[in-house]
């Protein structure tokens, strides 16, 4: 319904509100008018019927001796039938509605008095109570009363009133009720327009404040006495601005770090190229070219790690609802890493628990974590060393252990392992592997800890909460 209305309503909250309010007001006025007509018509009918019955009883009471039996000619209150087109003038204290009221009195079935010469008979004669009648031009509402008085004189009285009189009165009542509302409709529209404008003033202030936000300085929007309808919008906007500000800050840091990390390899590459160009013999030139290849590989690894870190840091919190078999996926991922492990003749062992562990985590996230942890362990483990990988459950949490028999890390450097671009030794690399793991595990509210592996080496423990 609302979607259908949107097609026809203007694209303005103020105009929409005005149209909807005035439409509801008009519809309500029409409904009240219809109800008023019904109630007014009913009340007028009741009032006029009561008056007809009262007039009939009054005439019957006053009939008495004035309508004596010896009267030969009926008494007419008016000489002839009085209509709106007649020039007949009533007395100065009369009223135009006198022509719209009729009565006639019979004494022993003989007309003895009447309001005028016309004869109006109810459709059901000699029937006490209300009825209806028709004359040449009008329809009438009648009330008939028959009663026998003293001396066996039977009086019959018919009192009638034109129905159009009642219609006129009902119309007047309704017009007097509805007409002021119709006349005041434009005034109400102006007042509603002004009231809506005042109500939307905080929205205008919010718009002006948003327009003043500078891209280089994303300050939060803080309006005073913000309405409760706009409070969620202001809060959501400030949250968005804060996230954008953090994202821009991370982007600036990433660009600065990338430029810093790539500056040295590029300078070394340039130096090797110059050495190759100025070499005196083929052996020196080949040596310089091999150094250039190593430098390109290192630069490629740095760029790959930088891009991986940027992707991980820009992702939202992990919301994976599908559980995966951890040991099964781990073995598949390690199978792809086997060449770099076999190159140094390192023993890689996966310790399987008795039961397959299930946990909700994205497969690509698990792959990134394992690739970085295993690659880092291979880098610092000597030829013929050993790397152990194991999953186990403690209470409701799931823990991953990666242990190596490498040279280990000094205690003062354990707390710095997740810092970006930190290298614990002279080994080549970008120093981003463990930073990527820390950033990714943070999305799952997991914790990462480093412990010495006895007798030598390092154990990395990642604990995922339930």
Relative to beta strand 358-360, strand 129-134 is unpaired
Q: Which DSSP category does 450 fall into? A: E
Domain co-membership, 337 together with 452: yes
pLDDT in the model for residue 86: 43
Q: Judge if 321 and 299 occupy the same domain.
A: no
Asked if residue 45 is part of any domain, the answer here is yes
In a domain, 266, yes or no: yes
Q: Are 313 and 300 in contact (CB under 8 A)?
A: no
pLDDT tens series, the chain, 466 aa: 556 666 677 777 778 788 888 888 888 878 877 887 788 777 777 877 888 787 777 777 776 555 555 555 555 555 444 444 443 444 445 556 666 788 888 888 888 888 877 788 887 766 788 888 888 888 888 888 887 766 677 888 888 888 887 778 778 877 777 777 778 878 888 888 888 888 888 888 888 888 888 877 788 888 878 788 888 888 888 888 888 888 787 777 767 766 766 676 777 778 878 888 888 888 888 888 888 887 787 777 677 766 776 666 666 555 566 888 888 888 888 888 888 888 888 888 888 766 788 888 888 888 888 888 888 888 888 888 999 998 888 777 888 999 998 888 877 777 777 776 666 655 555 666 788 788 888 888 888 888 888 888 889 999 988 7
| Percentage helix, strand, coil for the chain under 3-state DSSP, each rounded to 5 | 55, 15, 30
Domain finish residue from 183, 207, 242: 183
Report the pLDDT value the prediction gives residue 84, as an integer from 0 to 100.
Answer: 45
Structure tokens at 438: 């820390």
Indicate if 66 and 107 belong to the same structural domain: yes
Q: What is the pLDDT of residue 46?
A: 81
CATH value at residue 384: 3.30.565.10
Task: Say whether both 30 and 111 belong to one domain.
Answer: yes
| Residues 275, 255 share a domain | yes
User: What is the per-residue DSSP string for 420-437?
Assistant: TT--SSS--S-S-HHHHH
User: Which pLDDT score, from 0 to 100, does residue 79 have?
Assistant: 46
Query: Are residues 153 and 245 both part of a single domain?
Result: no
Q: Are residues 238 and 337 in the same domain?
A: no
Is 7 domain-assigned? no
Total count of domains within the chain: 3
N residues, the chain: 466
Cβ atoms within 10 Å of 206's Cβ, excluding its own: 18
Dist. CA 316–CA 293, nearest whole Å: 37
pLDDT at 425: 58
| Same domain assignment for residues 174 and 139 | yes
- Based on the fold, state whether residues 414 and 283 are members of the same structural domain: no
185-199 and 163-183 helices cross at what angle (nearest 10)?
30
Q: What is the pLDDT of residue 185?
A: 79
266's enclosing H/E stretch is: helix 231-278
**How many other C-beta atoms are found inside a 10 Å radius of the C-beta of residue 120?**
20
Say how far apart CA 185 and CA 406 lie, in whole Å. Answer: 88
What is residue 422's predicted lDDT score, i.e. its pLDDT? 67
Q: Check whether residue 349 and residue 405 sit in a common domain.
A: yes
In a domain, 195, yes or no: no
Cα(466)–Cα(334) distance, rounded to whole angstroms? Answer: 25
pLDDT of residue 90: 46
Full domain range(s) for residue 44: 13-82+94-183
CA gap 286, 294 in Å, rounded: 12
Neighbours of 258 (CB within 10 A): 17
């Amino acid at each position: 319904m609302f979607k259908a209305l949107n097609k026809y309503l203007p694209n303005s909250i103020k105009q929409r509100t005005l149209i909807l309010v005035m439409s509801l007001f008009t519809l309500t006025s029409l409904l009240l008018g219809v109800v008023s007509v019904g109630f007014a018509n009913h009340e007028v009918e009741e009032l006029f019927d009561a008056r007809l019955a009262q007039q009939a009883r009054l005439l019957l009471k006053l009939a008495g001796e004035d309508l004596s039996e010896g009267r030969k000619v009926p008494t007419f209150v008016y000489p002839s039938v009085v209509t709106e087109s007649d020039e007949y003038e009533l007395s100065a204290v009369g009223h135009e509605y006198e022509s719209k009221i009729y009565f006639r009195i019979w004494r022993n079935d003989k007309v003895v008095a009447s309001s005028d010469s016309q004869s109006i008979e109810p459709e059901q004669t000699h029937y006490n109570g209300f009825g209806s009648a028709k004359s040449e031009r009008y329809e009438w509402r009648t009330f008939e009363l028959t009663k026998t008085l003293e001396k066996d004189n039977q009086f019959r009285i018919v009192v009638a009133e034109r129905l159009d009189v009642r219609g006129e009165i009902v119309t007047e009542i309704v017009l007097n009720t509805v007409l002021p509302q119709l006349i005041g409709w434009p005034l109400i529209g102006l007042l509603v327009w002004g009231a809506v404008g005042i109500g939307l003033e905080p929205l205008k202030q919010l718009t002006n404040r948003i327009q003043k936000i500078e891209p280089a300085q994303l300050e939060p929007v803080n309006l005073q006495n913000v309405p409760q309808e706009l409070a969620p919008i202001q809060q959501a906007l400030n949250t968005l601005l804060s996230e954008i500000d953090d994202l821009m800050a991370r982007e600036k840091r990433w660009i600065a770090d990338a430029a810093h990390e790539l500056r040295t390899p590029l300078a070394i590459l340039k130096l090797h190229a110059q050495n190759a160009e100025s070499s005196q013999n083929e052996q020196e030139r080949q040596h310089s070219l091999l150094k250039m290849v190593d430098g390109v590989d290192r630069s490629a690894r740095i760029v790959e790690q930088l891009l991986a870190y940027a992707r991980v840091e820009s992702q939202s919190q992990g919301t994976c609802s599908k559980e995966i078999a951890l040991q099964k996926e781990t073995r598949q991922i390690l199978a792809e890493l086997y060449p770099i492990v076999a190159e140094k003749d390192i023993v890689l062992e996966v310790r399987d628990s008795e039961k397959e562990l299930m946990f909700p985590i994205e497969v690509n996230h698990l792959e990134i974590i394992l690739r970085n942890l295993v690659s880092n362990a291979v880098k610092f483990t000597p030829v013929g060393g050993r790397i152990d990988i194991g999953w186990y459950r403690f209470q409701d949490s799931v823990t991953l252990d990666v242990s190596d028999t490498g040279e280990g890390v000094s205690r003062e450097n354990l707390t710095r392992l997740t810092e970006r671009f930190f290298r614990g030794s002279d080994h080549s690399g970008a120093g981003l592997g463990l930073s990527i793991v820390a950033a990714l595990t943070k999305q799952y509210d997991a914790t990462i800890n480093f412990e010495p592996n006895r007798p030598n080496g390092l154990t990395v423990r990642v604990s995922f909460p339930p």
